[in-house]
């Protein structure tokens, strides 16, 4: 295990698995967001349900905190391996080319690192805004619908959000396929299909996330 | 054809080096890229200047000695073509062509465009072989090999160790080379006994030598003169992870 962690391939496997955990969460989060289109009751009720989930076993908000701990672990592993690999990559080419032209690497592949940084910064703001409510203009716990619409009522917050979820889409497009490759699941036969699936998942997730701020900006949600 | 060449000149490993501009007045479109450099070198020698050092041997695209970063692309603009097989007809009259050596910490520049690629030999030494008693050659059909495996192994065995994959990789990773060697042996029956330890040992050496990690961008395959596919890296990853889970 230690040897695996030391190797670049092992680090990529850790990155792939932690990324998969985060991706599953992101999918659930996006689907839950759509509840906002069914009204305040639906969204707030869902939030309440989530906090009460398995309360007799884990206590109020127990499941939520377990999920948060798991997410934090994934984020830490994902970022640690990313930073270590990025530093290795930098060290592997101390003198760069004067003239360099990328031939193949897609836009999403090239923006993984800075895109990831943008997403991380956004997540910090997003947690302070919606989860903790400290930078939210409404900021009343349990009033998820009002908190969200109040937040997106400020166009610059909506724009930041849309930028971040677009970056997330690019990140997933390369990251999801790349995870299959890092884990050795992608083969010559499966590659095209896996790439197409990654693109599809990225587009659906981004579209789902974009729908909420757009609805608030256009007055569909108030 | 008239060309303006910008060539990396560096006296030795510790020298800083710089790009030097050389105008070329009479380049034939039928020349190979290396022949064009030969002509330049003849002129330089006549002028009493140091000729440009560059690696080459077979000049027919099979040895892997030549390797130049041509206008920012390893082996130049033609796909699946080594620098020695690149012809000047792929350039236009009046072009400026920048020529640089491979850049990677494990590939130190020896002089001008020549880099030391013995790091690849270290990777091979750590696992790019099979341990078998030698003797007289066994009959060709003594060990049956499924045709698809033979084809994939052969495809991987086409790697000539030129280093273009490292040069093009944004992470300075040698995964394509390492994976090609591991796949070539790991798919054949003779390579089975050491399949997992080989993957582990070769990747460990690869990492220790200071090559970067793969981020699956595919720059390597795009410039590889032998078109080694990206899936070979997936196969190496799979062997390495499976080996780790087994032990
Ligand atoms: S994998 Fe391709 S680019 Fe890399 S060393 Fe082998 S032949 Fe050259
Ligand atoms: S000189 Fe042998 S491959 Fe180019």
CATH code at position B14: 3.10.20.30
Q: Does A3 touch chain B (CB under 8 A)?
A: yes
Comparing A1 with A131, which gets the higher pLDDT? A131
B55 and B165 fall within a common domain: no
Which among A89, A99, A184 has CB closest to B171? A89
Is B137 inside a domain boundary?
Answer: no
B122 and B239 fall within a common domain: yes
B105 and B26 fall within a common domain: yes
Q: Calculate mean pLDDT across residues A214-221.
A: 92
CB contacts of A3 in chain B (<8 Å) are 200, 204, 244
Class of domain A2-91+104-217: mainly alpha
Q: In the numeric block, which tokens belong to residue B188?
A: 């054949």
Q: For B172-204, b where at least 16 C-beta lie within 10 A, e where not — what string?
A: bbbbbbbbbbbbbbbbbeebeebbbebbbbbbb
Q: Residue B150 belongs to what domain range?
A: 117-131+144-246
CB within 8 Å: A4 and B242 = no
Query: Which residue has 């897609």 as its token pair?
Result: A106
Confidence class of residue A108 from pLDDT cuts 50, 70 and 90? confident
Is B149 inside a domain boundary?
Answer: yes
CB within 8 Å: A103 and B222 = yes
Which among A11, A98, A191 has CB closest to B100? A98
Is B136 inside a domain boundary?
Answer: no
CB contacts of A173 in chain B (<8 Å) are none
Q: In the numeric block, which tokens belong to residue A81?
A: 């391996």
CATH code at position B207: 1.10.1060.10
Mean of the per-residue pLDDT values of chain A: 94
pLDDT of residue A1: 79
Q: Calculate mean pLDDT across residues A85-107.
A: 90
Alpha helix segments (H runs only) across B75-173? 118-125, 147-157, 164-168
pLDDT of residue A105: 67
Is the complex ipTM more than 0.95?
Answer: no
B93 and B174 fall within a common domain: no
B93 and B199 fall within a common domain: no
- List, for residues A7-37, the tens digit of each pLDDT value: 999 999 999 999 999 999 999 999 999 999 9
Of all residues in chain B, the percent with pLDDT exceeding 90 is: 94
Q: Does A99 touch chain B (CB under 8 A)?
A: yes
B222 and B242 fall within a common domain: yes
CA of B79 to the centre of ligand 1 (A): 13
pLDDT of residue A2: 84
pLDDT of residue A107: 85
pLDDT by residue for chain B (247 residues), tens only, comes to 999 999 999 999 999 999 999 999 999 999 999 999 999 999 999 999 999 999 999 999 999 999 999 999 999 999 999 999 999 999 999 999 999 999 999 999 999 999 999 999 999 999 999 998 878 888 888 889 999 999 999 999 999 999 999 999 999 999 999 999 999 999 999 999 999 999 999 999 999 999 999 999 999 999 999 999 999 999 999 999 999 998 7
A13, A92, A175, A198: best to mutate for the B interface, most B CBs within 10 A: A92
B26 and B8 fall within a common domain: yes
B226 and B127 fall within a common domain: yes
Ligand 2 atom with minimal separation from the B84 CA: 4
Total domain count, chain B: 2
B151 and B204 fall within a common domain: yes
B124: Cβ–Cβ under 8 A, 6 or more apart, which residues?
B181
Ligand 1: which residues within 6 Å by Cβ?
Answer: B 159-165, 176-177, 180, 224-226, 228
B148 and B56 fall within a common domain: no
Nearest-angstrom CA–CA distance, B204 and B182: 13
B103 and B122 fall within a common domain: no
pLDDT of residue B133: 80
Nearest-angstrom CA–CA distance, B147 and B161: 25
A103, A170, A189: best to mutate for the B interface, most B CBs within 10 A: A103
Pocket test for ligand 1, best of B121, B228, B233, B235 (most atoms within 8 A of CB): B228
pLDDT > 80? residue A104: no
Domain regions of chain A by residue span:
2-91+104-217
Beta bridge partners of A71: none
Pocket test for ligand 1, best of B84, B163, B218, B221 (most atoms within 8 A of CB): B163
Q: In the numeric block, which tokens belong to residue B143?
A: 């060990």
- List, for residues A134-191, the tens digit of each pLDDT value: 999 998 988 999 999 999 999 999 999 999 999 999 999 999 999 999 999 998 889 9
Comparing A203 with B132, which gets the higher pLDDT? A203
B9 and B102 fall within a common domain: yes
Instruction: Give yes or no for a contact between A178 and A108, defined as CB atoms under 8 angstroms apart.
Output: no
């Amino acid at each position: 295990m230690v040897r695996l962690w030391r190797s670049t391939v092992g680090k990529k496997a850790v990155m792939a698995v932690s990324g998969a955990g985060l991706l599953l969460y992101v999918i659930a989060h996006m689907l839950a967001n759509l509840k906002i289109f069914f009204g305040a009751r639906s969204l707030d009720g869902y939030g309440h349900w989530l906090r009460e989930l398995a309360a007799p076993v884990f206590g109020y908000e127990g499941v939520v905190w377990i999920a948060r701990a798991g997410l934090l672990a994934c984020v830490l592993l994902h970022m640690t391996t990313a930073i270590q690999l990025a530093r290795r990559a930098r060290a592997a080419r101390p003198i760069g080319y004067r003239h360099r032209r990328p031939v193949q690497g897609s836009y999403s592949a090239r923006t993984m690192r800075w895109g990831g940084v943008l997403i991380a910064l956004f997540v910090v703001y997003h947690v302070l805004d919606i989860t903790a409510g400290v930078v939210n203009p409404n900021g009343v716990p349990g009033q998820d619908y009002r908190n969200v619409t109040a937040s997106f009522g400020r166009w610059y917050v909506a724009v930041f959000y849309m930028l971040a979820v677009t970056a997330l889409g690019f990140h997933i497009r390369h990251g999801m396929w790349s995870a299959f490759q890092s884990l050795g699941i992608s083969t010559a036969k499966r590659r095209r299909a896996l790439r197409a699936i990654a693109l599809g998942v990225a587009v659906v997730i981004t579209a789902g996330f974009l729908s909420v701020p757009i609805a608030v900006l256009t007055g569909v949600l108030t | 054809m008239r060309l303006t060449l910008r060539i990396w000149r560096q006296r030795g490993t510790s020298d800083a080096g710089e790009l030097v501009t050389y105008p070329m007045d009479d380049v034939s479109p039928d020349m190979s890229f290396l022949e064009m450099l030969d002509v330049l070198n003849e002129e330089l020698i006549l002028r009493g200047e140091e000729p440009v050092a560059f690696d080459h041997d077979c000049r027919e695209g099979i040895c892997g000695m030549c390797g130049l970063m041509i206008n920012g692309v390893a082996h130049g603009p033609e796909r699946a073509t080594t620098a020695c097989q690149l012809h000047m007809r792929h350039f236009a009259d009046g072009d400026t062509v920048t020529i640089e050596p491979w850049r990677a910490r494990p590939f130190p520049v020896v002089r001008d465009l020549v880099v030391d690629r013995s790091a690849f030999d270290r990777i091979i030494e750590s696992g790019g072989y099979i341990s078998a008693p030698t003797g007289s050659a066994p009959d060709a059909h003594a060990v049956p090999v499924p045709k698809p495996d033979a084809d994939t192994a052969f495809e991987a065995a086409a790697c000539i160790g030129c280093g273009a994959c490292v040069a093009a990789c944004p992470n300075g990773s040698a995964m394509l080379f390492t994976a090609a060697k591991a796949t070539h042996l790991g798919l054949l029956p003779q390579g089975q006994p050491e399949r997992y330890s080989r993957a582990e040992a070769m990747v460990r050496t690869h990492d220790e030598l200071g090559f970067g990690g793969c981020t699956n961008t595919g720059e390597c395959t795009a410039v590889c003169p032998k078109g080694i596919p990206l899936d070979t890296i997936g196969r190496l990853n799979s062997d390495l992870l499976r080996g780790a889970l087994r032990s």
